[in-house]
Amino acid sequence: MSERRSAANYQTWIIIGLALLIVACLCVGVVVWAGDALFGALPLPGRDEVKLPRSATADLTVAVSPGMAPTLNKLVETFNARGLKTPDNTPMVVRTLTLVPEEMVAQSLGQPAFQALAPDSSLWLSQIDRQWAAAQGAAEGDESVIPIGYRRFSNPVRYAVSPVVIAAWESVARELGWPERAVGWQDIQNKATADPNFKWNHPSTGHASGLLATLAEFYAGAGLTRGLTPEAATAQATLDYVRAVEATVRFYGEGEDAIVSRLAGEGRGFLDAFVTQEQLVIHWNQTQSGERLIALYPAEGTLWADHPLALLELGAPGETPLSDNQRRTYRALADYLTSPEAQQALLAAGYRPADMTLQLDAGNSPFLQNDAVDWRQPQTTLQIPDDSVVAVVQNVWWYTKRPTNVFLVVDTSGSMQGNKIDLTKLALHAFIDQIRGDRDQLGLIAFSTGVSVLRSMQPLDEAGREDMHNAVNRMSAEGNTALIDGVWEAYRLLQAQGDTEAINAIVVMTDGQENNSAHRMSELKEQWGAAQGPSVVIFTIAFGSNADEDVLRTMAEIGGGQYRRADETDIEELYKIISTYF
């Protein structure tokens, strides 16, 4: 009797359990249906809206500044060779993407092709933070504090540092007073003013050394070493000081990688002095023969490139969110870059390690018994100002930098018809938009069978900029190619203007062969050498494979400028790069 009752009870509990399970399933279905109806299909696990499983790929792409790229690439190779894996046995793989800092910032605010970034200064991280917070609608308030929920990056790690210096050939450094005394911005200005053949530059403020050097000039003009404010940066005495220094710059331009390339190609005559990171001085002297470069630490003080590594916080609408494995790869890479092995490798490459326990004057340090650099310098380190001050300095710089007179000389011959002339117009529009100072002037010359001055030299104020855009839009292509005559006319007009205070330049582009000029290349060279007016630099662009490369190279050599080659995929970007020289 008791056994039959137990069996019956057992069956009863089974039936009750099955009934409860059915009810639970029905409830889940109702909840999902209701959620879909009320909220538009919530992103539940396994649904299409979840783009990436949290434990998926461990591949990590890091955007890196051009100057650091060669060193970081070697470190990444070593990291990958270690064969690290995540807990679910997924290989950790790091790739690098070389980008200038401004492009890093721009892409970070959109749909980036990278998940982490290594700019040469944390100033770029601050710009990302501020612009991202504004784009996400962060409330107005204390501009030095950005709400955590609005941050675009996280977990920054500093893995190397390098002070910004004035690099000069040893003979030039001795003329300036090295090593007996500290050399400063005033010495550079005095030397360039007294000697018209003295050539120095610093990169545009789109590169760390250019921006940090400009901040240092504003500090010097304000007579401060910390606490630079918008009021101090825009005081008339400060602006006058910076303008006087900047007036002696031969040209601006790209970062350290471009400087090294031109130094290697053109040698001692390229520049007498230039602003760079201390690391480049060490690297140059390690790898090049001939006269040494000397690092001059500005007497008024300098700032440091602090080389951070940071993780982008991806996952905004339309983005593929970071996986847990990618976060693991980032942490592993950050740990490796700050490890003793990597820190020693960074020191050997000329960077100062983030590990302060490593001695710069011991072992195999490149600072040991090397008077071209001084590990005890700089004596005065300037304070990185608030990001709002940096923004003010970047804007004001356009009114303190050396002004520019540029003629854009453009091939409008028959071979430019169709897609080429359309892409050239886009490139010219980009160039015009990149030149933002009201003191800068621009002219436009087209050449085909003959030469047409479409726009004489005019200021790029609001009206002038619009007029220049309109002139570009009206260009058409037909006829032959009077390349030399186009450059001749631009040079003649610049000489007639006689502005010795500005950077005078010609940017000329052609896709074909010279075939219709009245002047010869020998005449152009003779004209350049005999001129008594302002010096004029020429940048030449070969658009496509049919351009007369020999003629364009010769022109660039005559004008002390650069020759570049472009195709339909990069003509616009090339014009943007050239605009940084002005």
**pLDDT, position 137:** 76
Residues 234 and 383 in one domain: yes
Of 318, 353, 388, the domain-final residue: 353
Tell me how far the alpha carbon of residue 436 is from its chain's centroid.
17
- Other Cβ atoms less than 10 A from the Cβ of 5: the count is 9
Together in a domain, 538 and 421:
yes
Does pLDDT of 20 surpass 60? Answer: no
Residue 271's domain comprises: 162-305+369-398
User: In which residue are the tokens 């609408």 written?
Assistant: 317
Provide the β-strand partners of residue 447. Answer: 411, 451
For helices 236-246 and 387-400, angle between their N-to-C axes, nearest 10 degrees? 60
224 and 93: one domain?
no
pLDDT for residue 162 is more than 70: yes
360 belongs to a structural domain: no
Residue 295, token pair as written in the block: 């690092």
Mean pLDDT score, 159-181: 97
Asked if residue 198 has pLDDT above 90, the reply is yes
- Amino acid identity, residue 412? T
**Is the pLDDT at 14 greater than 90, yes or no?**
no
- Tokens at 396, concatenated: 């004001």
Which of 159-163, 432-436, 530-534 has the highest average model confidence (pLDDT)? 159-163
pLDDT band at 149 (very low <50, low <70, confident <90, very high): low
Does a structural domain hold residue 358?
A: no
- pTM of the shown model: 0.84
CA atoms within 13 A on the CB side of 299: 13
- pLDDT averaged over every residue in the chain: 88
| H runs (alpha helix) in 302-418 | 324-337, 340-348, 387-400
pLDDT band at 43 (very low <50, low <70, confident <90, very high): very low
Q: Please state the separation of Cα 121 from the chain's center in Å.
A: 11
102 and 90 belong to one structural domain: yes
Per-residue pLDDT for 16 more than 50? no
**Range with the lowest mean pLDDT among 250-264, 442-456, 489-503, 533-547?**
250-264
CB-CB contact of 78 with 266 (8 Å): no
pLDDT band at residue 3 using 50, 70 and 90 as cut-offs? very low
Residue range 161-179: mean pLDDT, rounded: 97
> Does 41 lie in the same domain as 149?
no
**Number of domains making up the chain:** 4
Residue at 378 is within a domain? yes
Does the residue 362 lie in any domain? no
Residue 426 reports pLDDT greater than 90: yes
In this structure, which amino acid lies at residue 395? N
Same domain for 250 and 313, yes or no, is: no
- State whether 64 and 77 are in the same domain: yes
Q: What is the CATH number of the domain that holds 67?
A: 3.40.190.10
**Interval 273-304: pLDDT, tens:** 999 999 999 999 999 999 999 999 999 999 99
Residue where the block lists tokens 């051009």: 66
Show Cβ contacts of residue 560 under 8 Å, excluding neighbours closer than 6 positions.
Answer: 535, 537, 538
- Domain assignment present for residue 359? The answer is no
Model confidence at 134: pLDDT above 90: no
Report the range of poorest mean pLDDT among 164-168, 264-268, 345-349.
264-268
Q: What is the pLDDT of residues 44-70, one digit of tens each?
A: 333 233 344 556 899 999 999 999 999
Residue 272 in this model has a pLDDT that exceeds 50: yes
pLDDT for 290:
92
- Distance from first CA to last CA of the chain, Å, rounded? 104
Query: Per residue in 299-321, pLDDT tens?
Result: 999 999 999 999 999 988 888 89
- Residue 393 has a pLDDT of 93
- Residue 159 pLDDT: 98
Share of the chain above pLDDT 70, in %: 88
pLDDT the model gives residue 388: 87
126 and 202 co-located in one domain: no
Question: Does position 429 have pLDDT exceeding 50, yes or no?
Answer: yes
Given a cut of 90, whether residue 15 has pLDDT beyond it is no
Q: Rounded to whole angstroms, what are the CA distances from 134 to 30, 109, 117, 149?
A: 40, 11, 20, 12
Write out the two tokens for 231.
């009021």
Contact (CB, 8 A) for 321 and 182:
no
Q: Do 104 and 199 share a domain, yes or no?
A: no
Do 110 and 207 lie in one domain? The reply is: no
pLDDT at residue 536, rounded to an integer: 95
Question: CATH number, domain at 461?
Answer: 3.40.50.410
441: helix, coil or strand? Answer: strand
Q: Token match 């453009």: residue?
A: 410
Q: In whole angstroms, give the CA distance from residue 402 to residue 88.
A: 57
263 and 288 assigned to the same domain: yes
Contact 434, 406 (CB under 8 A): no
> Is 506 part of any domain?
yes
pLDDT in tens, 311-362: 999 988 888 899 999 999 999 999 999 999 999 999 999 999 999 899 999 8
281 and 257 assigned to the same domain: yes
pLDDT at 224: 96
